[in-house]
Amino acid sequence: MEYYTYIVRCSDNTLYTGIATDLKRRISEHNGEGNLGAKYTKSRRPVELVYKKKFKNRSDASKEEYRVKKLTRIEKEKLI
C-alpha cells in the first residue's frame, strides 16, 4: 500500500499537513464529503491540494509529515 504526505491550502490561506492512502478521497473528506476530515479544515473549506509526496509505507510518510509540520510557513511555501 502506498502512503502520501500532503499539504492542503485552506480557504483562509492557512496550510494543513497530513497523510493518506487515497488522496482524492481524503481531499473530498476535508471538503465535507461524508462528515469526515480534520477538525482544523472543517471551518476552513474549501481546501485545495498543493503538495504531495509518495511513500512505500506509513512509517516513512509519518516521519515526513512530522518533519513538514515543524517547518515555518515560509519553508512550507518553498516546498510547495
Domains and their CATH numbers in the chain: 3-79 (3.40.1440.10)
> The C-alpha cell of 18 is what?
497530513
Give the model's pLDDT for residue 36. 80
The number of CA neighbours under 13 Å toward the Cβ of 27 is 17
User: By three-state DSSP, how is residue 14 classified?
Assistant: coil
- Give residue-wise pLDDT tens across range 21-75: 999 999 999 998 887 888 999 999 999 999 999 999 999 999 999 999 999 999 9
Give the model's pLDDT for residue 34. 80
Give the model's pLDDT for residue 28. 96
CB 29 within 8 A of CB 47: no
Give the model's pLDDT for residue 31. 95
User: Is 76 a residue whose pLDDT tops 90?
Assistant: yes
C-alpha dihedral (22, 24, 28, 34), degrees to nearest 10:
-40
